[in-house]
Amino acid sequence: MDADRELTLLGGLSASAFMRRHWQRRPLLVRNALPGALAGVDRARLFALAASEGVDSRLVVRSGRRWSLRRGPIAPTTLPARAKAWTLLVQGVDLHDDQAHRLLTRFRFVADARLDDVMCSWASDGGGVGPHVDSYDVFLLQTAGRRRWRVGRVRDARLRDDVPLRMLAEFVPSDEWLLEPGDMLYLPPGWGHDGVAVGECITTSIGFRAPAAAELAVALLERIADDVRDRADEASRVDARRYCDAGAAPVARPARIPDELAEFADAAIDRALADRALRGRALGEVLSEPKAGTWFERGKGRLGARGLALDRGTRMLYDDRFVFINGEAIRAGGADATLMRRLADDRRLDAKSVAQASAAARALLAEWLRAGWCVQPGDRFDDDGESP
């Protein structure tokens, strides 16, 4: 995309200007940012999704200062139809609805490795989830009805201990806005917000992934450990080093770990972590893992005249050495690497590009088509490649 082109969804700012002035810095309110967005994702659609197995949903009900939380699946007949101040939240709507997925692609001026999902919430009058703060960036798009937002920097991050939600104990807002359908509010991490429905409404959240350092380290170390374990059978060819203490003196304290053995272990870990290619591969595999609960329908078609597109649940990334798709790494070079990177960036390939691919690349694309990671245009999901 043209990073300097003015975008309506950013209030006339270009993507580069928005990233420079607002991203992770300060809020932005855009009136009439995306009018008519998600018109097909209405109350009935959200209620049906919340009742489905494999869809992450929650029901939040407020009665005075008392709050309750119930996790899905949630049958429509169990919803508190007559009660006020309740909210139904449905996570990952982009995995189940083409329109929601296309909405998510409108925000690809941020790296795909950061894009998370589209969450939709239907609320009765007075409904909300209380004042809270997120550790990630979020765009709050009003798709139906109205919601009043109170927003402010969080100076005191203590949480209430009497509710089943991560709700701020004290919240002092600095701004307040009433959002109408099509209006959108961007909030950076660390900004508290409290949204209350004014009448029935639907609010859509476009969220971004911000992995915690410790969690990311654990995931990477697990991947690296798996790789080292896979190569253990080749130790005689890859790394024949084995601990040896020839000439060691007798020990007086047999239960004490020898310093030399500890140093040998440290050196083994350092060698494993010193492999930058292995670390990069582990990172790409972790970041391209599909969202929890994602499933793919096995394809039956063949590569043909219609080209192909990535399924909405597929995550595809790349770096200088590898292409990553749904947690797997493929080393690619030359024309094949260019082709795969274009598929990752555009999320589709036309028939001409597929026909010109090498035999190895075509075999890989056919395998992804059978696995349901890719689809043919016009099948279950056709990513139309709409640009922001």
pLDDT digits (tens, 9 = 90+) for 182-205: 999 999 999 999 999 999 999 999
Q: How far apart are CA 196 and CA 176, in angstroms?
A: 11
pLDDT for the residue numbered 388? 42
Mean pLDDT in residue range 339-351: 96
pLDDT for the residue numbered 383? 47
For the entire predicted model, the pTM comes to 0.89
User: Is there a contact between 289 and 326 (Cβ–Cβ < 8 Å)?
Assistant: yes
Supply 5's token pair: 């082109």
pLDDT for the residue numbered 255? 92
Q: Where are the domains of the chain?
A: 8-208, 213-279, 288-388
Confidence check: pLDDT of 151 > 90: yes
Beta strands across the sheet bearing 348-349: 348-349, 308-310, 374-375
Supply 207's token pair: 């969220």
User: Is there a contact between 281 and 273 (Cβ–Cβ < 8 Å)?
Assistant: no
291 or 119: which carries more pLDDT confidence?
119
User: Is there a contact between 15 and 175 (Cβ–Cβ < 8 Å)?
Assistant: no
Task: Assign a CATH topology to domain 8-208.
Answer: Jelly Rolls (2.60.120)
pLDDT-derived band of residue 379, with 50, 70 and 90 as boundaries?
low
Task: Assign a CATH topology to domain 288-388.
Answer: Malonyl-Coenzyme A Acyl Carrier Protein; domain 2 (3.40.366)
Nearest to 132 by CA among 101, 99, 177, 173: 173
Q: How far apart are CA 211 and CA 100, in angstroms?
A: 23
Mean pLDDT in residue range 208-218: 93
Confidence check: pLDDT of 91 > 80: yes
Alpha helices in the chain (DSSP H): 15-21, 43-50, 98-105, 213-230, 235-238, 259-273, 276-287, 334-346, 351-356, 359-371
pLDDT for the residue numbered 384? 44
